[in-house]
């Protein structure tokens, strides 16, 4: 039976998730009302400009805006009229305790309830701890007019920044938490060929946390294996390739790097730890992944200090500041975290990134920002690659060397051909790439499997 049906959808929050959902759902044929409370963002959106860098999103957004498939609003009240479904796509940023701050989504939900004049399905796309949909439903019941029915459903979003349009249109699964008519309504928003998983709301909310925590564990594990490879003098890329070829494990997220970061994994791992604690449980694997992630960055700084002969006063060109290639988002960026450690060790960090938007609180993590690669590396003692932007992979080591004061290059994302850099006279290092600065000769101690010769001699061994 055909599931997909064109609908009128109100989307609350025009950030990475809300804008992608707006553009993609419009592309699929739905009519979209988008509410964004930040007036600067709203006026950019009204001009057809996207306030974030997300490949492919600008085209589908502009087309939908021009054809009238997306309409913009400043308040929920304005946009709600005629909407069959409301998607909440607002932020749930972490608090210092690790718990997500749910006040933004609570106030968005109550705004919807206050404005609703007929039966409304409120669908939570934001990442929220198990039990939040139930709590939001109670908040809605408090504010809604008599006789108006509201039900809250969970439909977590799994898109990756940098490829959000592709991910939205080609999801591995669409998860819907809830029951009754609301589930069929949410299911009808997605094309028939997308695979659905429906379950209870708490389970659906937990799938998002557990998925992100598992991905973080995978990256931390890959970096732990990479550290072993460095010390053993073997190549982590090949070792991890061999590990990932096991279909039970899979090769994704097994790349050695400067660690995980971004708008989701740090907040969702600390969120999962906090959720477990609040229920009297431990999240030891996830806590371990968080610690291992910090350890990866500390190890990098130690290695750099060793090869540069001390980081105090050293000029480091940090190439890449966003949390990964393909996005301008710098929330919890591993490169910026690394910059902070390098600065604390006394180095002068000159950052360069083609896209990154630094928040006010991040500006001091680097000493200055260059507007070109050449400007960043001019007189530098070391280059550190913090993000895998393709322009860094295209650099010519010989011309870099001429402009630098020192000769250290550290590839934190596996994008450089280190042999070429060594040939150009660099001390070229990467993560898990068997470089001489880490190699230790192995002396095997006798192990317990040495044969008991006396027993063999006695004929006791079969």
Ligand X SMILES: NC(=O)c1ccc[n+]([C@@H]2O[C@H](COP(=O)([O-])OP(=O)(O)OC[C@H]3O[C@@H](n4cnc5c(N)ncnc54)[C@H](O)[C@@H]3O)[C@@H](O)[C@H]2O)c1
Q: Which residues of the shown chain bind ligand X in the complex (CB under 6 A)?
A: 12-18, 35-38, 41, 89-92, 104, 107-108, 111, 126-127, 157, 159, 161, 263-264
Residue (41 or 343) nearer to ligand X, CB: 41
CB of 442 to ligand X, least distance (A): 42
Q: Within its chain, how far is the Cα of 278 from the centroid? A: 25
List the beta bridge partners of residue 408.
Answer: 382, 427
Q: Please confirm, yes or no, whether 133 is among the known catalytic residues.
A: no
CB of 371 to ligand X, least distance (A): 25
Q: How far apart are alpha carbons 31 and 25 in whole angstroms?
A: 8
**Which structure tokens are listed for 391?**
């322009």
DSSP code, position 395: -
CB of 123 to ligand X, least distance (A): 12
CB of 338 to ligand X, least distance (A): 21
By Cβ distance, which residue is nearest to ligand X?
A: 15
CB of 119 to ligand X, least distance (A): 21
Residue 421, classed as helix, strand or coil, is: helix
CB of 250 to ligand X, least distance (A): 20
Residues 6+ apart with CB under 8 A from 293: 216, 219, 220, 223, 259, 260
Judging by beta carbons within 10 Å of its beta carbon (0-12, 13-18, 19+), is residue 365 exposed, middle or buried?
buried
Q: Within its chain, how far is the Cα of 433 from the centroid? A: 24
- CB contact at 8 A, 403 and 377: yes
Residue (110 or 231) nearer to ligand X, CB: 110
- CB contact at 8 A, 210 and 272: yes
Strand 348-352 vs strand 368-369: parallel, antiparallel, or unpaired?
A: parallel
CA atoms within 13 Å, Cβ hemisphere of 75: 8
Residue (266 or 432) nearer to ligand X, CB: 266
Residue (13 or 430) nearer to ligand X, CB: 13
Q: What is the DSSP string of 354-381?
A: SS----GGGGGGSSEE-SSHHHHHTT-S
Token pair 């997909």: residue:
4
Residue (14 or 259) nearer to ligand X, CB: 14
Q: Within its chain, how far is the Cα of 58 from the centroid? A: 21
Residue 272, classed as helix, strand or coil, is: helix
Residue (115 or 127) nearer to ligand X, CB: 127
* Marked catalytic residue, from 24, 133, 140, 264: 264
What amino acid positions are annotated as catalytic residues?
A: 264
């Amino acid at each position: 039976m055909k599931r997909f049906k064109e609908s009128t959808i109100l989307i609350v929050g025009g950030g990475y998730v809300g804008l992608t959902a707006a553009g993609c759902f419009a592309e699929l044929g739905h009519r979209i009302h988008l509410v964004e409370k930040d007036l600067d963002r709203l006026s950019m959106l009204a001009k057809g400009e996207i306030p974030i860098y997300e490949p492919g999103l600008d085209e589908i957004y502009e087309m939908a805006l021009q054809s009238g498939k997306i309409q913009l609003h400043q308040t929920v009240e304005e946009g709600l009229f005629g909407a069959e479904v409301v998607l909440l796509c607002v932020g749930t940023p972490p608090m210092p305790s690790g718990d997500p701050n749910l006040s933004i989504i609570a106030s968005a939900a109550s705004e919807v309830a206050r404005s609703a004049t007929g039966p409304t399905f409120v669908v939570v796309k934001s990442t929220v701890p198990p039990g939040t949909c139930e709590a939001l439903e109670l908040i809605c019941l408090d504010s809604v007019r008599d006789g108006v029915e509201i039900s809250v459903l969970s439909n977590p979003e799994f898109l990756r920044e940098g490829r959000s349009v592709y991910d939205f249109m080609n999801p591995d699964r669409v998860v819907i938490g809830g029951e009754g008519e609301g589930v069929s309504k949410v299911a009808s928003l997605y094309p028939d060929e997308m695979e659905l998983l429906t379950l209870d709301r708490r389970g659906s909310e937990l799938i998002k946390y557990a998925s992100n925590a598992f991905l973080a564990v995978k990256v931390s594990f890959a970096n732990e294996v990479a550290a072993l490879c460095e010390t053993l003098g073997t190549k982590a890329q090949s070792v991890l390739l061999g590990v990932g070829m096991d279909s039970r494990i899979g090769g994704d997220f097994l790349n050695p790097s400067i660690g995980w970061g971004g708008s989701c994994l740090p907040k969702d791992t600390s969120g999962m730890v906090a959720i477990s604690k609040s229920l009297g449980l431990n999240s030891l694997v996830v806590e371990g992944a968080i610690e291992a992630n910090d350890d990866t960055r500390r190890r990098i700084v130690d290695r750099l200090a060793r090869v540069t002969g001390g980081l105090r006063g050293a000029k480091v060109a940090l190439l890449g500041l966003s949390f990964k290639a393909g996005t301008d988002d710098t929330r919890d960026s591993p490169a910026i975290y690394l910059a902070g450690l390098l600065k604390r060790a006394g180095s002068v960090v000159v950052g360069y990134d083609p896209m990154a938007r630094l928040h006010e609180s991040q500006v001091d993590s680097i000493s200055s920002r260059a507007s070109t690669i050449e400007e960043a590396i001019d007189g530098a003692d070391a280059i550190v690659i913090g993000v895998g932007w393709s322009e860094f992979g295209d650099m010519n080591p010989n011309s870099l060397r001429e402009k630098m004061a020192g000769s250290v290059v550290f590839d934190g994302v596996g994008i450089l051909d280190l042999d070429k850099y060594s040939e150009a006279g660099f001390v070229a290092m990467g993560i898990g790439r068997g470089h001489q600065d880490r190699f230790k000769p192995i002396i095997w101690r006798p192990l317990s499997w040495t044969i008991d010769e006396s027993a063999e001699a006695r004929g006791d061994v079969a």
